[in-house]
Amino acid sequence: MITPYFLESFWGEKNNGFDVLYHNMKHGQISSKELTDFIRERSTIEEAYARSMTKLAKSAGNFSQLGTFAPVWDVFKSSTEKLVSCHMELVRKLQELIKEVQKYVEEQAKAHKKTKEEVASTLDAVQNIQTISQALQKSKEIYNAKTVEQERLRKEGATQRDVDKAGVKAKKATETYKAYVEKYATAKSEFEQKMSETAQKFQDIEENHILHMKEIIQSYSQSVNETQIQIGELHHEFVRNVENTSVESLIQKLSESKGTGKERPGPIEFEECNTAIATEGAKPRKRKPFGIPGRSKKDKDTDSTESTEVEAANTANGAPPGYYGAIDIQNANVPQVDAEGFCIRPEGNENDILFSL
């Protein structure tokens, strides 16, 4: 139970308390509209922040995919996108809250309208005591003036007729004055009773208003706080993800994705030409034409005037002119030496490079 401050503090000269309390109630509508404005502005700020963060996430996503560090951008991108979600979630909650506050603003306006009707009789009582106080004061002044006038005439030895005439006026003024004293007593009693009730009513309204405002603020705080907690967790996740992306794992990842091969160049020895097989090999044999997946890169650097035979053979197989069947020696199964060119190894398996002659 709250101390009835309003009941205690809105009396005083001029009986203006009612006016002050009534306007104070109306200010409550301004407060609740301003609270809506505040939450709306906050929501707008969060939305703009989220939008900027979306751009930042896109930037991280568009950063170079080359280099050892590149995979780390995924961590940045994903974390920033989650940050966007957090802020958008806050925006959604604030928008819902704004709807609630707007509902309250409407209810409050209706309640104030109803209250205005309910306190109309109090306003009457206020105006009544104000009017009667003034009239009482005036009637007292007139009474005093008339009484002094009669006394003056008597002392100055005026005619009895004039003294009597003044006496009638003084008596009339006395009656008016007495009547206002009585009227004032009634008005005062009425005013005190009405004003007491109304002051308490206004305090109840204010109490409920502030309670409602505090509930809204609590809801606002809760939403902001939830977002804070989410962002905190997100941040720790980011830190953890960066920590977990070890230097070794990045070095390994690059080696796997960009590695050029694990085989060092093999030794190459002199191979004597087996002319018997070379000649025999000139007859068409059932075998795959030249070309192994991933090994079809051309070697165009060779320039020889003595390669006519090789070129002719290649052309027959659809190989471009200038191709000499030079393949990547280093990629062969070391230490076994590949047989290329015209010298075809009798034991050559399907994966060996074969030339039709």
Q: 183 to 212, contacts with a copy of itself by CB under 8 A?
A: 184-185, 188, 191-192, 203, 206-207, 209-211
Q: Which of 337, 349, 343, 328 is nearest to 272 (CA)?
A: 343
Neighbours of 114 (CB within 10 A): 10
Q: Does the footprint of a copy of itself cover residue 78 (CB under 8 A)? A: no
Residues 230-259 that bind a copy of itself (CB under 8 A): 231-232, 235, 238-239, 242, 247-248, 250-252, 254-256, 258-259
We find the least distance from the C-beta atom of residue 150 to a copy of itself, in angstroms, to be: 8
Q: Does the footprint of a copy of itself cover residue 136 (CB under 8 A)? A: yes
We find the least distance from the C-beta atom of residue 39 to a copy of itself, in angstroms, to be: 10
CA distance 21 to 16: 9
With both helix axes pointing from N to C terminus, report the angle between 72-118 and 160-244 in degrees, rounded to the nearest 10.
160
Contact range with a copy of itself by CB under 8 A, out of 101-109, 115-123, 157-165, 213-221: 213-221
Residues in the chain: 357
Identify the three-state secondary structure at position 249. Answer: helix
Q: Are residues 50 and 91 in contact, defined by beta-carbon separation less than 8 angstroms?
A: yes
Contact range with a copy of itself by CB under 8 A, out of 7-15, 91-99, 112-120, 160-168: 7-15
Q: Which is nearer to a copy of itself, 91 or 136 (CB)?
A: 136
We find the least distance from the C-beta atom of residue 275 to a copy of itself, in angstroms, to be: 4
Q: Which is nearer to a copy of itself, 120 or 210 (CB)?
A: 210
Q: Does the footprint of a copy of itself cover residue 22 (CB under 8 A)? A: no
Q: Which of 206, 20, 21, 34 is nearest to 105 (CA)?
A: 34
Residues 29-58 that bind a copy of itself (CB under 8 A): 30-31, 34, 37-38, 41-42, 44-45, 48-49, 52-53, 55-56
Q: Are residues 17 and 195 in contact, defined by beta-carbon separation less than 8 angstroms?
A: yes
Q: Does the footprint of a copy of itself cover residue 81 (CB under 8 A)? A: no
We find the least distance from the C-beta atom of residue 350 to a copy of itself, in angstroms, to be: 19
Residues 85-114 that bind a copy of itself (CB under 8 A): none
We find the least distance from the C-beta atom of residue 20 to a copy of itself, in angstroms, to be: 5
Residues 254-283 that bind a copy of itself (CB under 8 A): 254-256, 258-265, 267-271, 273, 275, 278-279
- At residue 114, what is the residue type? K
CA distance 76 to 56: 9
Q: CA angle 300-303-309, nearest 5°?
A: 95
Selected from 74, 89, 100, 328, the binder of a copy of itself by CB under 8 A is 328
Burial 215-245 (b: 16+ CB within 10 A, else e): ebeebbeebeeebeebeeebeeebeeeeeeb
Selected from 22, 76, 104, 290, the binder of a copy of itself by CB under 8 A is 76
Q: Which of 138, 123, 124, 121 is nearest to 180 (CA)?
A: 138
Q: Which of 227, 217, 207, 226 is nearest to 36 (CA)?
A: 217
Contact range with a copy of itself by CB under 8 A, out of 88-96, 98-106, 116-124, 131-139: 131-139
We find the least distance from the C-beta atom of residue 168 to a copy of itself, in angstroms, to be: 14
Selected from 110, 113, 116, 181, the binder of a copy of itself by CB under 8 A is 181
CA distance 352 to 311: 19
Q: Which of 277, 258, 265, 253 is nearest to 332 (CA)?
A: 265
Q: Does the footprint of a copy of itself cover residue 351 (CB under 8 A)? A: no
CA distance 354 to 158: 159
We find the least distance from the C-beta atom of residue 207 to a copy of itself, in angstroms, to be: 5
CA distance 237 to 72: 14
Q: Which is nearer to a copy of itself, 160 or 193 (CB)?
A: 193
Residues 306-325 that bind a copy of itself (CB under 8 A): 306-307, 309-310, 324-325
